[in-house]
Structures are given as C-alpha cells and as structure tokens.
Structure 1
C-alpha cells in the first residue's frame, strides 16, 4: 500500500516549521533567537557551546562580555569590550539579512546569518565552515607556491628571466608616471665556460650559487636581482642613479676579491663584468636593455673584471 503524498505547497505551517527546526538542529547549525531588547530567548546546544553561554537570563551584551573576560568563544580584537560592543550593536538590526564570518579562539571559522524580523526579533544561525576555509587556505597556499616556483631560478633561488623582465616592464611604466630614476645592470661572470671545462658543471653550479648569495648580502633591500641566462644576471635598482649603481657594484667586486670557493684541492676565485644604464623618460625597455648590454660588452672587451656605464 503506497504512502499518501503530501502537497508541499499546502503543508500545515507548524509542521513545516517543526521539521525545519529539527533539520537545522540535526545539521549542527547553531541557533539563537533574541528579543527586540536583545534578551536571549532561545539558544541551541551548539550555540551555548560556541559562546559558553552561562545559566540564567542573558543578553547579547552579557554573552559577549563573558566571552571577552573568560577568553572563550569568538576572537574579539579589542583591549576594551565596551567600544567593541557599541560597534557590534550598531551593526545588529542594520539590515534585514546580514551575513558575516566569525573567527573563534579555538581556531574554528564560523559563517553567521542574522535575520531581523518585524518588531526587532533576531534569528541568528551559525554554521561551521572550518573545513571550507582550511581548503581555501591550502588552495591559496598552493597557488602562491606555484607562482613563486614559476618565477624562481631553481639553482640560485633568484628570480628567473621571465619574472625579472616583467618587473623591468612594470618599473618602466611606473617611471613614466612618476619620473623616478632607476638603473639597470647586466652582469656576466668572467671566464665561466673555462670554470665548467676545467672543474666540471658541479663547480660551475657552485660558483653561480656563491655569486647569488654574495649579491644578496651586498645589494640594497629594494634592488631586484635575477638570473636570466647561464652565467648572466640582471640587476634592477629603483631610485638609483648610475653613480649609485657603480658604488654598489664596487662593493660587490671588493667582496668577491676576498672570498674563495674550496674546490677539491683547488681554491677557486672568480670575477664579473657589468654594464650599467640609467633610465630616462625617452627610453623603452628594449633600448635601455640594449644600452646596458653594450656597456657590458665594453667592460668585457676592456679586459673583464670591469664595470662600464652606457
């Protein structure tokens, strides 16, 4: 014998409300009802647990004051609860339907839905969204890690060619607007092929890493530095004239002259050549890069271990 069907559009309202309430409570949604004067009229077990609601008559303000004093429930970033309460009370009943996130002190994230009815009654429903937020955080972390990996030279940990050229272009665009000076430096390690041929590629890799570390320790904090080819590096120096760039490069040269790389039974030393070009409003990325490259060629032609200005 089949079960009689129920018309869902004409079911008795008290029965529908009862089923809705039972379903919400069974789902783990925390429920609370506040009167127009903000007295707590009803609180589900989950709501009482989240807010550590005390026995006896309670109001929204008394619940929040207890959470603040006992350091339980929601994260309240305030030194004094009263200004925070004034701000929170100003938001309550400001909209018919209001949704917001609640961070709990125990690390959970909650999603709250506040419905204000005619006469000022409030229904507050709170659902645990920790899993969703954690997944969102991990996805963002994975995305950020992928972006970093795509912009990083695997051997030295410096920015790679693509990342450097993008930042180069960005600086050109901002320079056109602001007029701020900056300098570009192309660097080439001297006789690098000979190092690879004599000592092997492992030694070459060690030289590249050593140079990257030495440059990081010497360059200014705002400087952008990356490996753009085998033994070629690009240095972008915001707000630096060519004279300021020369001083920094001189420090790097002096630093390398007192450093050595032990390589089996050999003490390895190396130098670099560099070309410097200063940006002016009439210069494009291509023309500025070409000027730095020509200056680098002049430095190498002059005997290497030199810095030349375009």
Structure 2
C-alpha cells in the first residue's frame, strides 16, 4: 500500500494536470506541482482559498477576475463554491492559459479540484462557453447582494432533502432570516440606505457560513440558510453568532448610532419534507420570533422534539 501511495504521489507531481484538495474550511491541504505553479503557491504553503485569490488578484496574476471590487466578487463566488457535489467550468489565467476545472465535494466539505489546460481550443468556442458560464452564474446570483438567489438556494434545500443511500437520519436544518423593521429603515433613510443595509447584512452573515451550508436572499429583506446534516442545537449556535455579529454592525458612517437586528426561524428537516413544507415550518418559527420581541431565534416545535429525541 505504501508503494502504491508513493507511486500515486509521484504521478500527481509529474502530471501537467492541476490537482488540489481543500478542507471544509477552504484551506489548501494538497496541491501538485502544476497547481502550485499556476497559482504561485510555495511548496509548503497551505493558504485559505480566499487569501490565495486575494493575493494573486492584488499581484495581477493567477485567475483572471473581471471585477472592480474584489471583495464583492469573493462573496458572490463563495456563495456558490462547494455548495454542490460536482461542478465544472472554464476559467482563464493572467498568463493567457485557459483551464477546464472540476470541483468534487464530499459531504464533510472537503473538495477535490482537478484542472486541465484547454488553451489549444479555438478562441471563438472558448468565448461562447465563457459567456454561457457567466449567464449561468447570473441566473443563480442575487443582483443586489451578490450572494445566492432564491433559485439557487431552493435547489440546495431540495438537495438536502434527497434520500441518502447511507440512511443518515439527520437531514439538517433550514433557517429563515428577516431584518427587523426594515420598512422603517427605508421610510426613514430611503431605499439606497436600505440597499446598503441589505448588502451589509449579507456580507456579515456570509462570513460565518460554513462550506457545507448555503446562504441566499429570497426577496426583500428575507434570507434563507441551509444547514445540511446539522442538529438544531448546533444550528442555534451558528445563527446566534450571526445575531451577535449583526448587533455590532454600524454600517452608516454618517449615522454612527444607527444599528439594526434580525430575527430567525429554525426548522429541522424531517423524512417526507418537501422544500415547501420545510420552509413553511421555518417561516412559522420566524413569525414566532417576531412576536417574541425580534432580534432572536425561534425553533419550530417539531424541530425541538426531533433534536431532543436524537440526543
């Protein structure tokens, strides 16, 4: 077995195909020579993917990123990165090369990236495919906040509810988040300030979302968070951290005393749930959180029962 592993490692190190593995926190855990060369990574370095992309963007090397604001591009990209079991796409490098890249994600969040150089393909064909990829990205992205939109996050809810061959009993949780008294923010400060608050909220919550989760805006001031394979107690802790982060927000420099909060409804997925029925229970829990005084989490009663039984 040791000889086989050594041979496999040698093959990876000598192939022109780019190979890398990231853990559930998006830290690089392995990259072969071709991958490290393409993205300017030192042999022993294990950077987080966002830090790697930021460093290369600032140095004008690595992946071509067509964005005036790198941080906005990063949020938009991370809202979809690693959220599906497999995806394939084409990307270009500053040095002129084009790569066909695949990402395969395990349930625990580890990701295998494999890329091949497709520079030899006709440029006209590449442009058509890139335009297609950009159109697909736009169809899954909320235009205002840059995170996932209703279409993408609904698909992730349906993925979470799919029957599993390993008969895993815990499907996960769904959380519906709603900014408190958002209408009064618009009425007092105007819709432009309201949009700024929405973007601030999306950025703050997104920074606390795990690789295996998906956070998206479904309309207005309402957002959804999927938490696959997560018990209610753990989901509560995750959302509580988000509540704390938003309480500290002061997004309006011209109004330093302005602050805002959000409420959250939590429901644990059960066998036989559909995306609609699970959302309805989480939305009902959100209503109870609002009635309870806002700026809090309320879990659907059946979710609490299920969590207690599981424990």
Question: Structure 1 length as normaliser, TM-score?
Answer: 0.56
Which residue of the partner structure matches residue 271 of structure 1? 261
User: Highest CA radius of gyration, 1 or 2?
Assistant: 1
Partners in 1 of 2:249 and 2:119 — Cα distance? 52
Distance 1:299 1:132, change over 3 A: same
Q: Does 1:152 align with 2:141?
A: yes
- Say if 2:216 and 2:224, in contact at 8 Å, map to a contact too: yes
Mean Cα deviation higher: 163-172 or 244-253: 163-172
Partners in 1 of 2:278 and 2:200 — Cα distance? 28
Distance 1:141 1:195, change over 3 A: same
SS of 1:173 mapped into structure 2? coil
Higher relative contact order (CA 8 A, sep 6+): 2
Which residue of the partner structure matches residue 122 of structure 2? 133
Distance 1:264 1:188, change over 3 A: same
Partners in 2 of 1:151 and 1:289 — Cα distance? 19
Which residue of the partner structure matches residue 246 of structure 1? 236
Which residue of the partner structure matches residue 162 of structure 1? 151
| Superposition deviation, residue 170 in structure 1 | 2.1
| Superposition deviation, residue 135 in structure 1 | 2.2
| Superposition deviation, residue 262 in structure 1 | 2.0
Question: Structure 2 length as normaliser, TM-score?
Answer: 0.56
Which residue of the partner structure matches residue 299 of structure 2? 309
Partners in 2 of 1:276 and 1:215 — Cα distance? 15
How many residues align? The count is 190
Q: Please, which runs of 5 or more residues in structure 2 have no aligned partner?
A: 1-13, 18-94, 99-117, 301-311
Partners in 2 of 1:302 and 1:76 — Cα distance? 60
Q: Please, which runs of 5 or more residues in structure 1 have no aligned partner?
A: 1-74, 79-105, 110-128
- Say if 1:175 and 1:281, in contact at 8 Å, map to a contact too: no
Partners in 1 of 2:136 and 2:171 — Cα distance? 29
Which residues of 2 match residues 1-310 of structure 1 at below 5 A? 77=16, 132-175=121-164, 178-179=167-168, 180-310=170-300
| Superposition deviation, residue 162 in structure 1 | 1.3
